[in-house]
Amino acid sequence: MKKNIILMGAPGAGKGTLAKQLISLGLIHISTGDMFREAINEGTELGKLANSYIKDGNLVPDDVTIGIVRERLSKDDCKNGFLLDGFPRTLPQAEALEKMSKEISRPIDVVINLDCDEEELVRRISGRRVCKNCGAPYHITNKKPLVEGICDICGGPLIQRKDDNEESLKVRLQHYVQDTKPLLDFYQDKGLLQNFDSLVGMNVLFDEVSVFLKK
């Protein structure tokens, strides 16, 4: 089984949804976006700093982001495998990850890239709702909750993320193309990249990725 995994893909490609499904394989889900949103909800200094970037769709500075991932990856629970979702997003982050994964002897086994066309990304993000308590993702037409406005898992209220608006999304997609997409070549060159079509739908995608990871 492949256990140290990076999930890549544009905003809306389905990283978070897939990651939450893959937890059932015993992997620890590390989402920098979730970590920042938690800090924002708690009103910490990190949260205030992160919010000033996230609200407009910009990237949080590398040193801050690398710092929180380093701390998280060094914890004991990551020793049986981790799923990085939303990190790395820049070349300096990828280089820092190389270094730290060597230091803790937990090398990356595979980079899963979710392919999705831009029109679909926009459709997914504009209809996305998330649970305010647990972060579980929903969609107003694709993935409705059992009871409108309420999370199936924890009963929390469903909200729209502040950065899921047209303006911020435009900036996020630009950052994806400029800063993050080049990482596909970086990992292709290392022989780690594995592409999956995210348009098949989240359940089929989950089956395909699980089969692949268990090989």
Q: Provide the mask over 62-81, with x wherever binding to ligand ADP is found by CB under 6 A and - wherever it is not.
A: ---x----------------
From ligand ADP, Zn ion, none, interface partner of 186 (C-beta below 5 to 8 A by class): none
From ligand ADP, Zn ion, none, interface partner of 36 (C-beta below 5 to 8 A by class): ligand ADP
Closest CA to 1 of 189, 172, 214: 214
Q: Is 123 a catalytic residue?
A: no
Is residue 137 within the footprint of ligand ADP (CB under 6 A)?
A: no
Q: Which two tokens stand for residue 54?
A: 């996230």
Is 198 in contact with 13 (CB distance < 8 Å)? yes
> How far apart are CB 129 and Zn ion at their closest, in Å?
11
Cβ contacts of 112 within 8 Å, gap of 6 or more: 5, 6, 7, 8, 194, 196, 209
Sole window of 22-30, 82-90, 109-117, 198-206 interacting with ligand ADP (rule: CB under 6 A)? 82-90
Residue 90 buriedness (CB in 10 A; 0-12 / 13-18 / 19+): buried
Catalytic residue annotation:
15, 89, 128, 161, 172
Using CB under 6 A as the criterion, which residues of the chain lie in contact with ligand ADP when the complex forms?
11-12, 15, 32-33, 36, 53-54, 57-60, 65, 86-87, 89, 93, 163, 172
